[in-house]
Structure 1
């Protein structure tokens, strides 16, 4: 029997989503379409009668901005929003800033899919020569983390995302769920996929085929042991959701120049 409701949300489209670049820990705002996705998501949740008690986000602007827009559309701006780097997007290391389709043309689609979607493969780490290294590690938000800046990742596999996310999930999010609160996690494609792997027991092989489109809320109904009682539900127009999933999957395909 369903006891708790948990909502996961990949932020609305960001500027670099639109450009098909690995964004990762570079801080980007939502695109115009991303703003609309977040507002539409909030309106859908309101129409379906959902109400949240607390919201968790990463410390990246696109995740926070999405939460704000969703809550505004729902008339729930007053809710507490708790932020942690442990919900950040996966750290793509040296791949940050690169175009996925160009990488697929250069290295092959299979290699890019491994970098993007596999569970255990860690991309090459970022170093100080990388054009976005200082922008990330000189950002003041990373002085607020619960680990020293020099201990923050330089690249991550999905497994490593789950490893840094789970302590926060268990210590901070789970107690709120157990109080009977309806929780929204407004985060990123990979932090949400990592949580789904944990909660649903998805295998390391099958998680590569789990795709979350931007701005689409995912409802998980959980029992008293926080085990899902039914398959995850992606809420909204199912035809549009399938088209959005295909769009995400096509980002890693080579597009030869004419």
Structure 2
């Protein structure tokens, strides 16, 4: 083991990653099937009521418009919840200090939590897409890039989930962030409707809501068409990915929520 090395314990890294994946797979009904069912219900309710609604994207039906939004939303929620609730659970069990004794680098710790959350996010997203095949078919304009985008979005929110879990110390606060911050931003991020049709103060969502360019990015990869400038939104996604991971690494490295004063 080399002091200061970024990666020096492959076994330890994969052990922590496996623990994070195994943890949510043990309760797959709650962590995988429940959000999948919610997304299918959203598709059925909104798709059934608004199926004939005109979309500002030529040749695109509302159900097609809705699918990438639901996939992205499922990935966002699942990837955020995995590391955040894992860290808070360790605090609740009074085992969070053990993280300091893991024989792996801070980068490996951060990467294990982020990839564990991203795996859950991608899994929920992919299963949501598979479920929608029965309603809209399986055609994706850029299939590889679509799933790369879902993975990147999952990594962003897994990093944010890790940061939030380190800063907060109970499940009530975690649920508050999820319900009062993440959920409204997602719903106003273009999942169910075109942001360009919002009026008044809500129209500012296209400039202030960081989730909007992420939803737009996945929608472009799925449909080949979207609102706004896709190059700018791709750049924003890249900045969010690097920035969120770097801040998660910095937070963990400084022992926020881990070190005992």
TM-score between both structures, scaled by the size of structure 1: 0.29
Higher relative contact order (CA 8 A, sep 6+): 1
TM-score between both structures, scaled by the size of structure 2: 0.29
